[in-house]
Amino acid sequence: MATQKRRTLRELAHSRAGDKGDISNISVIAYDISDFARLEEYLTPERVKQHFAGVVQGEVRRYSLPALGALNFVMEKALGGGVTRSLALDAHGKCLSSAMLSLELPATE
């Protein structure tokens, strides 16, 4: 019987992030283009919003860039009113992109 292994997103992809006002923008880029379909299937806007429950108060939109093996997420109302207004300790893009990479993927054989 094959052993199933849970993996984090960090094992399959890296991320880039930015922020403007109260919007966080996170791109997830597959290390290997062959993993892109798996990421695209699993990383839905709903799943990302659930992962950031309590942080992202607005809409999450996803843009797919298959030629780059990347997904771009735009998360509104994600920075406590904006980087300069938030009392959160460094809760901007880079911290959120690191948190995104901790997301667990479904087990594979």
pLDDT digits (tens, 9 = 90+) for 37-70: 999 999 999 999 999 998 899 999 999 999 999 9
Long-range contacts of 58-64 (CB under 8 A, 24+ apart): 58/22, 64/40
pTM of the model as a whole: 0.82
Structural domain total, the chain: 1
Residue 24 included in any domain: yes
What is the C-alpha radius of gyration for the chain, rounded to an integer number of angstroms?
14
Please indicate, yes or no, if residue 1 is contained in any of the structural domains.
no
CB within 8 A of 23, min separation 6: which ones?
74, 75, 76, 77, 78, 79
Residue 22 placed within a domain? yes
Residue 42's domain spans which residues?
A: 8-103
The CATH number that applies at residue 76 is 3.30.70
Query: 3 lies in a domain?
Result: no
